[in-house]
Homo-oligomer: A and B are copies of this chain.
Amino acid sequence: MSTVAVKKTAARTAQGRADKRRHILEAAVEVFANAGFHRSRVSDVARAANVADGTIYLYFKSKDEILLSIFEEAMAEMIEAVEVKLAPLDDPFEKLRTFTAFHMTRVERHRSVAKVLQVELRLSHTFMREYKPTKLKEYLDIVGRIVEEGQARGLMRLEANPTIVRRALFGALDEIAMQWILTPAARYGLLESANQIADIFASGLRSGSAEASANP
């Protein structure tokens, strides 16, 4: 039984279908990360995945949907993975630090995926305009819940708005990650940045911090 023969019929089973889908997705990540989503043609993805152009459309409705799937599936994995890391922890500050470290390590280890998520995704009109990023909100919610828990336990300032904090923290991580991705020669490690950001947000959220009173 040749490898080709296996490939040909693999998709007849549900598992085979899922495998091929993932295979195409992985090829797409590399192609998009290299050339950019807009500059990549569907035929480039097809060639990289060793399938015909039309085959792509048996697994994805459109070129945009490939990008969206990359996003959805990467986010789902991240959500699951970070929850596992956070589960054994108790201290909200430690959770915050673990979250930022996780995020940046992830970016560092999966540079191609991160590149697509951070840079290319934003170039897609569909994503920016029509798509509701449920998965992203879910990811941000993790931070929001950490803050809420910290406040409930009297460890974090009640003046901090969890909705704002989670966006701000994500924005800070995201901006630095994007810089690191776009700059071929990154000058500092992402983990250091993660820790600096965790420090700032931890201090900023800790009860007893005097800044709040400075508000007009």
Residues of A within 8 A of B (CB): 36, 38-39, 93, 97, 119, 122-123, 125, 128-129, 159-161, 163-165, 167-176, 179, 182, 188, 192-193, 195-206, 209-212, 214-216
Which residue from chain B places its CB closest to the CB of A200 in the assembled complex?
B204
A80 CB, nearest partner CB in chain B, Å: 23
A-B contact pairs, 14 of them (CB 8 A): A39-B125, A93-B214, A123-B125, A159-B196, A160-B199, A161-B193, A165-B196, A167-B176, A168-B172, A168-B197, A199-B214, A200-B205, A203-B204, A203-B205
In the complex, A199→B160 CA distance in Å?
9
For A125, the chain B residues whose CB sits under 8 A away are: 36, 38-39, 123
Given contacts A123-B125, A196-B160, A200-B200, whether A97 and B167 have CB atoms under 8 Å apart is no
Q: How many copies does the complex hold?
A: 4
Partner of A199, one of B173, B192, B195, B204: B204
Q: Are B165 and A176 within 8 A (Cβ)? A: no
For A128, the chain B residues whose CB sits under 8 A away are: 119, 123, 182
For A211, the chain B residues whose CB sits under 8 A away are: 93, 198-200, 202-203, 206
Q: Are B204 and A188 within 8 A (Cβ)? A: no
In the complex, A195→B168 CA distance in Å?
12
